[in-house]
Structure 1
Amino acid sequence: MIPVKGYRGAKVAVLGLGRSGLATAAALRAGGAEPLLWDDSPEARAGAEAEGFTLTDLTRNTAFEGLACLVTSPGIPHLYPAPHPVIARALQAGVPVDNDIGLFFQSAADSSWAEMETPPKVIAVTGSNGKSTTTALIHHILQVAGRPTQMAGNIGTGVLSIAPPQDGEVIVLELSSYQTELARALTPDVAVFTNLSPDHLDRHGGMGGYFAAKARLFTLGGPDRAVIGVDEAEGRFLAGQLGQGPQDDRVIRISSGTKLEDFGWSVFARKGFLAEWRKGRQVASIDLREVKGLPGAHNHQNACAAYAACRALGLAPKLIEGALHSFAGLPHRSQLVGERGGVRFVNDSKATNVDSAAKALQAFPRIRWIAGGLGKEGGIAALRPLLGPVVKAYLIGHSARDFALQLGETPHELCETMDRAVARAAAEAEPGEVVLLAPAAASFDQYPNFEKRGEDFTARVQALIGPGA
């Protein structure tokens, strides 16, 4: 646990008592603060009481008397589309509003760091797509390199729940726009921006607000190194704003598909090869085509981002290359779950919308595509130009028939259930093909979440081909 500093003896309200909220309350208490907890859910309040915390009804008029700060969970709106009433009252009363990310950066460093041979570092990763894979990949590379490391944030463990960093340790954080927008302190040593595509626009008041929330990671504290994906206009703008000209190697530009040879430091992937360039010359190259845990151009961008972040820490290219090959990928994100007779089975259950499914469909040359579920507005019509690699689609769930009408001349079969779709795709697949679960739809018609859907796919594949096949 990271005890929160700066509030000893003070009252600090905590709004939202999920995983991060309870961890924040515990860290505040460990730092000598008096946490006052509230959640709109009676069940969440009861759970907090069972752990010995004090509940305070923050909806009462007197709740903000003598309050030093309000700490809110990331899922609670603080501005758009409308602030939660408790947050609105705090803002009206002039009470500072923060989140656990801000408290982490305020509290992680202490006097013992000055006595360490190698003070700890923090790498923070944000962006629209690829955050989790990039974060996990950096963490994996550091583990292979023998560096002590912890991974936290949006990817799993709450930032205040990790152990105090030790000598030479690297903390790797995945940060969402909800987290970066509100944190009052953001001071990573290395900050990574993967890419930007429309998402959460109602929460941020539009695309400009969404980008501004991401950009705060780079502009609020000023990292020593900024790794910036420049395949979109926003990334190019951010890189230009942070650097003192194209040769400023404090900014490492990354791309999937575009040569970046005229900058002080860049890393890009083209035709399956990652290249690192510094001051006008190539210094390293990696063949990504045989890295099974990172298929497709979108994962090659993730590889560039992780490579650049680790190079910023001084890791050698050959060490990073070896670690890329041993990366198994994250569950439900282009995850290779089995192989039989030259046919690979890939679980990308996280592809719940057209944009993420498009990336999966561009990752393989011949695909037996399992798609469907609870379709979103527009269905899969936008994917029609990308269906060339699809040998056949196997449609499941609530939207199976709607999806069938949008496939054009692509061969397809209405399977309804995962069991039948996996069995039919496996029976018809030929060597060199990939059976790909990339639903382009939500899971809630048949599963509680995309994880359970991916687990069902994995279990049925392994029942057919055997675990570890």
Structure 2
Amino acid sequence: MIPVAGFEGQEVGVLGLGRSGRATAAALAAGGARPVVWDDGAPGRDAAEAAGLTLRDLTAPGGMTGLAALIVSPGIPHLYPAPHPAIAAALEAGVPVDNDIGLFFRSFGSDAFARHDTVPRVIAVTGSNGKSTTSALIHHILTEAGRPAQLAGNIGRGVLDLDPPRDGEVIVLELSSYQTELARALTPDVAVFTNLSPDHLDRHGGPGGYFAAKRRLFAEGGPDRAVIGVDEVEGRFLANQLTEGSGDPRVIRVSVEQGLKDAAWSVFARKGHLAEWRKGRQQASIDLRPIKGLPGAHNHQNACCAYAALRALNLGPRDIEAGLASYPGLPHRSQLIAERGGVAFVNDSKATNVDAAEMALRAFPRIRWICGGLMKEGGLGALEPHLGSVAKAYVIGREAEAFARALPGVEAEICTTMDVAVIRAMAEAEPGDTVLLAPAAASFDQYDNFERRGEDFVACVERGLAAGR
């Protein structure tokens, strides 16, 4: 646990009692604060009361009285489409609103964690797509190289639930836009921006607000090094804002669409080969094509981002290459489930938006595509140029018919359920095909989350293979 510094003897409100909220309350208490907690759901309140936490209805009149701060869980709206009533009350009362990420950076930089021969470092990763894989990949490579490391944030553990850092340890944080937008302290040593595509626009008031939330990771704390994906205009703009000129090495530019040989420091992948260039000279190269845990250009971008972040901490290219080669992949993200009779089965349930699905469709030559769910704003039109690899679509979800109609020129079968879709795809797959779950939609019409959807796909594949289909 990371005890929260700066609130000794003071009451601090905690709104939302999921994983991060519970960890926040415990870390505040460990630092000498007096947390008072609230959750809109009765089960969360009951669990908090059973754990001995002090409940207070933070939405009631006077709920903000005496609070030094209000700490908010990431799923709770604080600005758009409208602030949660407790947050609105805090804004009215002048109570500072923060989240666990802000508390982490506030506490991590305190004297108690600076007394090391080799000071611990923090790598923070944000972006629309690939941030989970990039974060996990960085952590995996560090571990394989014998470097102490912990992984937290939007993946794995809550940040305040981390162990106090050891000498020379690297903390790897995956940060969502919800987390970066609200945190009052953001001071990573290395910050990574993978890419940007439309997502969560209702929570940020449009694409400008969404980009601004991501940009705060770089603008608020001023990382020593910034790793920026520059294949979208927002990344190019951000890289430009962070540099003092073409020779400034504080920004490492990353691309999978262009060679960046003229940049002061760059890492890019072309035709499956990663290359690092500095000041016009190539420093290292890695063939990414044989790495089964990193298929496709989108994963090559993740590899480039991870490579660049680790080079910023002076890890050697050969150590990074060894870690890349042994990376097993994350569940639900281009995860190879099985291979049978020349047919591969890949679980990319995390492809919940069109841009992520596009990357998955570009990664394999011939696809039996399981897709569908709750379509997001903007529809599926952006996928049309990338449907040439789709031999057939097997559409699931309550909106399966409408989803299938939005796929012009693609043979589509209305399956509705995962079980039917997998059975049909397995029956029709030929050697060289990939049966790919990449829904391009949210899961909430049939599943609690994308993880449950991916787990159902894996179970259906395993049953089908066991039955000899």
So what's the TM-score if we normalise by structure 2? 0.95
Q: Distance in 2 between matches of 1:415 and 1:64?
A: 51
Specify the SS of the correspondent of 2:291: coil
Residue in 1 that maps onto 2:289: 289
Higher mean Cα deviation, 117-126 or 427-436?
Answer: 427-436
Cα offset, 1:379, TM superposition: 5.0
Residue in 1 that maps onto 2:46: 46
For residues 27-61 of structure 1, the C-alpha deviation after alignment (integer angstroms, 9 at most, x for no partner) is 00010111111222232212111110011222343
Residue in 2 that maps onto 1:273: 273
1:427 aligns to 2:427 (yes or no): yes
1:438 aligns to 2:438 (yes or no): yes
Cα offset, 1:427, TM superposition: 3.0
For residues 258-296 of structure 1, the C-alpha deviation after alignment (integer angstroms, 9 at most, x for no partner) is 111111110011111111001111111111111111111
1:162 aligns to 2:170 (yes or no): no
Q: Distance in 1 between matches of 2:279 and 2:247?
A: 7
Give 1:355-366 correspondences, 5 Å limit.
355-366=355-366
| Residues 257 and 271 in structure 1, CA contact (< 8 A), matched pair in contact too | no
Cα offset, 1:405, TM superposition: 3.1
Higher mean Cα deviation, 202-211 or 167-176?
Answer: 202-211
CA RMSD of aligned residues (A): 1.8
Q: Distance in 2 between matches of 1:299 and 1:447?
A: 26
| Residues 4 and 30 in structure 2, CA contact (< 8 A), matched pair in contact too | yes
State the one-letter code of the partner of 1:20.
S
1:171 aligns to 2:164 (yes or no): no
Cα offset, 1:237, TM superposition: 1.2
1:417 aligns to 2:417 (yes or no): yes
1:135 aligns to 2:140 (yes or no): no
| Residues 5 and 110 in structure 2, CA contact (< 8 A), matched pair in contact too | no
1:325 aligns to 2:325 (yes or no): yes
| Residues 113 and 164 in structure 2, CA contact (< 8 A), matched pair in contact too | no
Cα offset, 1:378, TM superposition: 6.1
Cα offset, 1:409, TM superposition: 3.6
For residues 354-398 of structure 1, the C-alpha deviation after alignment (integer angstroms, 9 at most, x for no partner) is 222111111111111122234445654442321111122223332
Q: Name the CA shift for 1:373/1:196 in 2 (closer, same or farther; >3 Å).
A: closer
Specify the SS of the correspondent of 1:346: strand
Give 1:316-465 correspondences, 5 Å limit.
316-376=316-376, 380-465=380-465
Cα offset, 1:174, TM superposition: 0.5
Q: Distance in 1 between matches of 2:45 and 2:92?
A: 25
Specify the SS of the correspondent of 2:344: strand
Residue in 1 that maps onto 2:215: 215
Q: Distance in 1 between matches of 2:385 and 2:143?
A: 40
Q: Distance in 2 between matches of 1:447 and 1:114?
A: 44
Residue in 1 that maps onto 2:106: 106
For residues 228-273 of structure 1, the C-alpha deviation after alignment (integer angstroms, 9 at most, x for no partner) is 1111111111111111111111110101111111111100111111
Q: Distance in 2 between matches of 1:72 and 1:81?
A: 16
Q: Distance in 1 between matches of 2:291 and 2:377?
A: 35
| Residues 375 and 398 in structure 1, CA contact (< 8 A), matched pair in contact too | no
Specify the SS of the correspondent of 2:259: coil
Higher mean Cα deviation, 369-378 or 345-354?
Answer: 369-378
| Residues 384 and 406 in structure 1, CA contact (< 8 A), matched pair in contact too | no
Cα offset, 1:110, TM superposition: 4.2
Q: Distance in 2 between matches of 1:103 and 1:323?
A: 31
State the one-letter code of the partner of 1:122.
V
Higher mean Cα deviation, 266-275 or 88-97?
Answer: 88-97
Q: Distance in 2 between matches of 1:457 and 1:92?
A: 47
Specify the SS of the correspondent of 2:329: coil
Residue in 2 that maps onto 1:236: 236
Residue in 1 that maps onto 2:80: 80
Residue in 1 that maps onto 2:23: 23
Residue in 1 that maps onto 2:182: 182
State the one-letter code of the partner of 1:56.
R
Specify the SS of the correspondent of 1:76: coil
Q: Distance in 1 between matches of 2:407 and 2:126?
A: 34
Specify the SS of the correspondent of 2:68: strand
Cα offset, 1:457, TM superposition: 1.4
Q: Distance in 2 between matches of 1:79 and 1:216?
A: 16
Q: Distance in 1 between matches of 2:208 and 2:229?
A: 17
Q: Percent identity?
A: 72
State the one-letter code of the partner of 1:234.
E
Residue in 1 that maps onto 2:147: 147
Cα offset, 1:318, TM superposition: 1.4
| Residues 293 and 335 in structure 2, CA contact (< 8 A), matched pair in contact too | yes
Higher mean Cα deviation, 363-372 or 418-427?
Answer: 418-427
Q: Name the CA shift for 1:243/1:381 in 2 (closer, same or farther; >3 Å).
A: closer
Q: Name the CA shift for 1:466/1:162 in 2 (closer, same or farther; >3 Å).
A: farther
So what's the TM-score if we normalise by structure 1? 0.95
Q: Name the CA shift for 1:154/1:403 in 2 (closer, same or farther; >3 Å).
A: same
Residue in 1 that maps onto 2:255: 255
Cα offset, 1:157, TM superposition: 0.8
Q: Distance in 1 between matches of 2:86 and 2:446?
A: 36
Aligned length: 467
For residues 52-90 of structure 1, the C-alpha deviation after alignment (integer angstroms, 9 at most, x for no partner) is 001122234333333211111112222222222222222
Q: Distance in 1 between matches of 2:13 and 2:164?
A: 24
1:226 aligns to 2:236 (yes or no): no
Cα offset, 1:337, TM superposition: 0.4
| Residues 348 and 454 in structure 1, CA contact (< 8 A), matched pair in contact too | yes
Residue in 1 that maps onto 2:245: 245
Residue in 2 that maps onto 1:126: 126
Cα offset, 1:466, TM superposition: 5.5
| Residues 442 and 450 in structure 1, CA contact (< 8 A), matched pair in contact too | yes
Q: Name the CA shift for 1:446/1:289 in 2 (closer, same or farther; >3 Å).
A: same
Specify the SS of the correspondent of 2:26: helix
Q: Name the CA shift for 1:8/1:347 in 2 (closer, same or farther; >3 Å).
A: same
Q: Distance in 1 between matches of 2:382 and 2:280?
A: 39
State the one-letter code of the partner of 1:119.
V
| Residues 249 and 265 in structure 1, CA contact (< 8 A), matched pair in contact too | yes
